[in-house]
């Protein structure tokens, strides 16, 4: 499986004057999807006092990447 299939490729690809992709690094589509999902998870969350915030943030980050992976998989089906 190529890295593009795993990460969805670049979120914001850049092309040179000849239409060739220029690998500038940066955010992958998977990272972009996870960031969008994480924002929604946190916007809707109520932080109970007994929760350790660092524990909650790790859980939300993991769930955001699970959502990103599902979004990438959904793109594969026509």
Q: Is the pLDDT of residue 20 over 70?
A: yes
Question: How far apart are alpha carbons 4 and 7 in whole angstroms?
Answer: 5
Predicted confidence at residue 3, as pLDDT, reads: 52
Token pair, residue 74, equals 């959904």
Three-state DSSP class for residue 63: helix
Q: What is the pLDDT of residues 26-53, one digit of tens each?
A: 788 899 988 888 888 777 666 666 767 7
Query: Residue 55 — very low, low, confident or very high, per pLDDT cuts 50/70/90?
Result: confident
Q: How far is CA 10 from CA 15, 60, 68, in A?
A: 11, 23, 14
Predicted confidence at residue 66, as pLDDT, reads: 92
Q: Is the pLDDT of residue 2 over 80?
A: no
Question: How far apart are alpha carbons 34 and 24 in whole angstroms?
Answer: 20
């Amino acid at each position: 499986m190529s890295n593009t299939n795993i990460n969805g490729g670049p979120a914001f690809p850049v092309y040179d004057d000849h239409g060739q992709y220029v690998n500038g690094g940066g955010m992958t589509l998977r990272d972009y999807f996870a960031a969008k999902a994480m924002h929604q998870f946190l916007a809707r969350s109520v932080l109970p006092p007994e929760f350790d915030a660092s524990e909650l943030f790790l859980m939300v980050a993991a769930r955001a990447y699970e959502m990103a992976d599902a979004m990438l998989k959904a793109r594969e089906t026509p």
